[in-house]
Amino acid sequence: MTDAAVVGAGPNGLAAAVVLARAGLSVRLYEAAPTIGGGARTEELVPDHLHDLCSAVHPMALASPFFREFELQRRIDFAVPEISYAHPLDGGRAGLAYRDLARTVEGLGRDGPAYRRLMEPLVGNIEGTLDVALNHLLRLPRHPAAAVRFGLAALDQGTHLWNRRFSTDLAAALFTGVAAHPVGTLPSLPSAGAGLMLGALAHAGGWPIPRGGSQSIADSMAQDLVAHGGEIVTDHTIESLSELSGVPTVLLDVGPPSLLRLAAGRLPRTYERALERFRFGDGACKVAFILSGPVPWTNPEVAGAGTVHLGGTRAEIAASEADVAVGRHPANPYVLLSQPSLFDPSRAPAGRHILWTYCHVPSGSTRDMAEAVTAQIERFAPGFRDVVVGAFTTTAADLAASNANYVGGDFGGGAVTLGQLLARPVLSPAPWRTPLDGVYLCSASTPPGPGVHGMAGFHAARLALRDVFGLPVPALGVGAGPAA
């Protein structure tokens, strides 16, 4: 008999399955796609050219409490660039976020001290920072002082007072680039919170790139699950919870629309209405390039960064994101970019490179943004077009068609707004628990939201162990066996 079923083999579903199997339960994991991984999948664009389908760089892979318990760093190899991210501006200038905070401060000139005052308290107590960022906001923080500092910093950069801190466009752009990761208007408290967490991680350990692609993260969890008796069933869509009747607990790595479909009228109407009110954000258009050489940045130091944010000044990026928010495709989009083959030669044959990019677009967009992305790269790397061998576009509509959780092309599992950080997807101290006995939600539509961190699965699995089986959370490290 199966003790637990998990639906969806993205990072959160895999994390939930690992925790349950490590506790000694029999676990079956179902995935609708032919391969596991969800947002952490890697495929060949063309033979021998490995491309990450969604996420490519993983700021939380070394820092998430789940991955630390799981000892992910001992299971797979990472490249950790000395420069976590870069932000070029016109004229060859660039802000560089080194792992070394002092070196970053030095490079920002007269705004260096202001940047240090913003980031140093968060970096110095990274445990407290992550306790705020990777847990539910309705929960009492374990590090109250860190929570206060994080909140004040978010107010500083998340409101229209954000320009009071910096006097130069370089420092302002450097922070804006990382704060714009969640799709949404700028400034906002959620974007500032994301920027502060990601920025703190950039200086507290770096942004790692998994060698061999993001798939290695998913594969490491799958291997551990199978080693502890779990079963993985791919190419299998669960259409209704009735298919899992008799299984004591079910964990769902799905969005609210899929939960409504799976439950088919079994949920209380008040809960259904809350799920129906849940909103997804705007989407992304991904453009993958095969190159004949490195990107020819005007500022050669940018090549040392694992991630590059493009879009120009703070005002330009805010204008681009405002266009997306009202349904327009920006002429000069904000672009996230990574060239992982610079740090992991296994991604492409000798003489070739993989370039991973995406930009923000309105929900459901069918527009191919390859030319706009190319022009934005060419702006800061003249001659880029000359090294492009091929380009492969995945529109927001394509993303939505490829994964039921990516509604409208929103691969974050729902709009990142202040309201939906508190009620994700419902206002509850334990939003992973549904009104149905033994049924839990563990997707990015629950706290802490987007990212490859496994924390939504970890939180949901802990609840299921306690509620259904009366079991503690097991040890998850390499070599640790099932709970006694």
Residues carrying CATH 3.90.660, the chain: 75-209+282-401
Q: Which of 289, 332, 334 is nearest to 310 (CA)?
A: 334
Q: Is residue 259 pLDDT above 80, yes or no? A: yes
Rounded to the nearest integer, the mean pLDDT of the chain is 96
Would you place residue 482 in the very low, low, confident or very high pLDDT band (cuts 50, 70, 90)?
Answer: low
Q: Is residue 315 pLDDT above 80, yes or no? A: yes
pLDDT tens per residue, range 260-283: 999 998 999 999 999 999 999 999
Predicted confidence at residue 137, as pLDDT, reads: 80
Q: Is residue 356 pLDDT above 70, yes or no? A: yes
pLDDT tens per residue, range 9-54: 999 999 999 999 999 999 999 999 999 999 999 999 899 999 999 9
Statement: the pTM of the whole predicted model exceeds 0.85: yes
With left for phi above 0 and alpha for psi between -120 and 50, is residue 287 left, alpha or beta?
beta
Return all residues near 294 (Cβ < 8 A) that are at least 6 apart: 303, 339, 342, 353, 387
| Average pLDDT rounded to a whole number, residues 216-230 | 98
Predicted confidence at residue 84, as pLDDT, reads: 98
Would you place residue 484 in the very low, low, confident or very high pLDDT band (cuts 50, 70, 90)?
Answer: very low
Which DSSP letter does residue 91 get?
G
Would you place residue 481 in the very low, low, confident or very high pLDDT band (cuts 50, 70, 90)?
Answer: low
Domain 4-44+213-278+412-469, CATH number (from 3.20.20.60, 3.50.50.60, 1.10.3720.10, 3.30.2270.10): 3.50.50.60
Q: Determine the Cα–Cα distance for residues 396 and 451; give it in Å rounded to an integer.
A: 18
Q: Determine the Cα–Cα distance for residues 333 and 319; give it in Å rounded to an integer.
A: 9
pLDDT tens per residue, range 361-395: 999 999 999 999 999 999 999 999 999 999 999 99
Predicted confidence at residue 45, as pLDDT, reads: 87
Amino acid at 100: D
Q: Is residue 483 pLDDT above 50, yes or no? A: no
Q: Determine the Cα–Cα distance for residues 338 and 304; give it in Å rounded to an integer.
A: 11
Q: Are 218 and 9 in contact (CB under 8 A)?
A: yes
How many percent of the chain have pLDDT more than 70? 99
Predicted confidence at residue 1, as pLDDT, reads: 81
Q: Determine the Cα–Cα distance for residues 299 and 346; give it in Å rounded to an integer.
A: 26
Q: Determine the Cα–Cα distance for residues 66 and 45; give it in Å rounded to an integer.
A: 31
Question: What class, spelled out in words, does domain 75-209+282-401 have in CATH?
Answer: alpha beta
Buried b (16+ CB within 10 A) or exposed e, 246-278: ebbbbbbbbbbbbbbebbeeebeeebbebbeeb
What are 427's two structure tokens?
């206002």
DSSP per residue, 364-383: T-----HHHHHHHHHHHSTT
Q: Determine the Cα–Cα distance for residues 352 and 193; give it in Å rounded to an integer.
A: 37
| Average pLDDT rounded to a whole number, residues 392-421 | 96
Q: What is the CA radius of gyration of the chain?
A: 21
Q: Determine the Cα–Cα distance for residues 356 and 52; give it in Å rounded to an integer.
A: 8
| Average pLDDT rounded to a whole number, residues 337-357 | 97
Phi and psi angles of residue 30, each rounded to the nearest 5 degrees, phi first: -110, 135
Residues carrying CATH 3.50.50.60, the chain: 4-44+213-278+412-469
CA distance readout (Å), 355 to 125, 254, 339, 394: 34, 29, 5, 14
pLDDT tens per residue, range 128-169: 999 999 888 878 888 899 999 999 999 999 999 999 999 999
